[in-house]
């Protein structure tokens, strides 16, 4: 299953909720959630821990727009919109944690 997060995990509980409920699968960070994919933030450890359980992706155009494309945590995979489409197609279902 693909879990899509679109809010900054530094100010919003969506990612926490997703990590609490979801068992495994893939997580895609888009829009303001891309801040969660950057090194040196207060939640970097949480993202690194989650990598054991989930494959973590980030939407690169959103990261570039926010000036943080050079700070991606190692092991987080970048995708473009085409990659976003393939993630949705490649998983049985998806949930947007709005």
State the residues that interact with another protein by CB under 8 A. 1, 4, 6, 13-14, 17, 20-23, 25, 30-32, 61, 80-82, 84-86, 88-89, 92-98
Distance CA 23, CA 65 (A): 31
Q: How far is the CB of 88 from another protein (least distance, A)?
A: 5
Q: With H, G, I as helix, E, B as strand and everything else as coil, classify residue 23.
A: coil
Judged by beta carbon, residue 25 or residue 51, the one nearer another protein is 25
The CB density around residue 54, as the number of other CB atoms within 10 Å, is 19
Phi, psi dihedral angles at 40 (to 5 degrees): 90, -5
Determine the number of helices (DSSP H) and then strands (DSSP E) in the chain: 4, 5
Q: How far is the CB of 68 from another protein (least distance, A)?
A: 16
Q: How far is the CB of 74 from another protein (least distance, A)?
A: 26
């Amino acid at each position: 299953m693909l879990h899509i997060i679109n809010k900054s995990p530094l100010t919003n509980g969506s990612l926490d909720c997703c990590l609490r409920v979801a068992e495994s699968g893939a997580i895609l960070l888009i829009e303001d959630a891309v801040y969660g994919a950057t090194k040196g933030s207060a939640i970097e450890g949480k993202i690194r821990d989650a990598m054991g359980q989930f494959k973590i992706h980030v939407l690169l155009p959103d990261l570039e727009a926010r000036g943080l494309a050079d700070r991606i945590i190692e092991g987080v995979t970048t995708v473009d919109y085409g990659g976003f489409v393939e993630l949705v197609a490649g998983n049985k279902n998806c949930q947007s944690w709005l």
